Amino acid sequence: MSRIAFVKDALSPGAYVPRSRAGVSIEDRGFLFADGIYEVCEIRNGGLVDEQRHLERYESSLRSLRLKAPMSRRSLQLVLRETVRRNKVQNGVLYFQVTRGASRRDHAFPPASVSPTLTVFATPVDVAARDAKVASGVEVITLPDERWARRDIKSVSLLPNVLAKQAAQDAGAYEAWLLDADGNVTEGASTNAWIVMDDETIITRPLSHDILPGISRSIVLEAARHLQINIEERAFTIAEARSAAEAFLTSSSAILLPVVGIDGSVVRDGTPGPVAHRLRAYASGISQISDAHLPSI
């Protein structure tokens, strides 16, 4: 039997479509940033188990992420039931997900005109296999809780970065510098963070699970070595950053941008500093630019 999914997004006002062909834009923020929420609800004898509790948690998740509801609660309930009915699922799970919609890739929230995406599908479960596990019990292993803690991986789990970038934008700033439990700067929401001391030593956090190993970070370190600028790879506090001679951030989209204010207080005299300027100029020069066409071997 062909399975049916429901999709409502910028391109579709809401339609039941064959599940194998159901899809959303590659620019959907769920796909790009994990900028979305979901619910999974048990289907028992064709009905939804604890539907009210799931809808309450769903609405709470929407509020927490400032996500627009894709439709009214009542319309959603109709769609959930219709998806179960069309798939003739008696026992299984119902999955529904809402994302902040499809828009040009940018961490901060898209314009208010962008509609959220809603997808719904229902899948039967093997009741006998589940009952066998209930009868036998299951084993577990233990692992360190590393959820949100592997910032060194360039993963699309970017929801915290999205929220930080939006908070920066709400405050009229370009970027948010993120602090660890000790008040040290880890990195920006989408950039690496640097400060410059009075003797022109540059400081940036060492590579670890705490930061993304930025490509521009490595180029700027190389530039500093060429320019014989002292480098200290160590954690620095936000207080040090505020009183630093200069500060800057790095990322592939701009190589290096001088930071002239932190939390509203001026860095230096509020203008870009000479070390940032020299590093940017040198780093631009040593970056490798590929040929437009791959040369033949």
Contact positions vs ligand PLP (CB under 6 A): 161, 187, 190-192, 212, 214-217, 250-252
CB neighbour list of residue 126: distance below 8 Å, 6 or more residues apart: none
CB of 217 to ligand PLP, least distance (A): 6
Q: What is the C-alpha to C-alpha distance for residues 267 and 185, in angstroms, rounded to an integer?
A: 16
CB of 159 to ligand PLP, least distance (A): 12
**Cβ closer to ligand PLP: 115 or 250?**
250
Task: Single out the catalytic residue among 8, 68, 154, 165.
Answer: 154
CB of 188 to ligand PLP, least distance (A): 6
CB of 112 to ligand PLP, least distance (A): 25
**Cβ closer to ligand PLP: 219 or 244?**
219
Q: What is the C-alpha to C-alpha distance for residues 275 and 223, in angstroms, rounded to an integer?
A: 11
In single-letter form, the type of residue at position 136 comes to: S
**Cβ closer to ligand PLP: 8 or 217?**
217
CB of 177 to ligand PLP, least distance (A): 11
Q: Which residue is nearest to ligand PLP (CB)?
A: 214
Q: What are phi and psi of 38, to 5 degrees?
A: -150, 165
CB neighbour list of residue 77: distance below 8 Å, 6 or more residues apart: 51, 55
154 is catalytic: yes
CB neighbour list of residue 282: distance below 8 Å, 6 or more residues apart: 223, 226, 227
In the block, which residue shows the tokens 């609800």? 41
Query: Ramachandran region of residue 214, left (φ > 0), alpha (ψ -120 to 50) or beta?
Result: beta
**Cβ closer to ligand PLP: 52 or 157?**
157
Q: What is the C-alpha to C-alpha distance for residues 16 and 102, in angstroms, rounded to an integer?
A: 19
Q: Give all strands (DSSP E) within the chain, no chain letters.
A: 4-9, 12-18, 36-44, 47-48, 92-99, 117-124, 177-179, 185-188, 192-196, 202-204, 231-233, 246-251, 255-259, 261-262, 265-266
**Cβ closer to ligand PLP: 122 or 163?**
163
Catalytic residues: 154
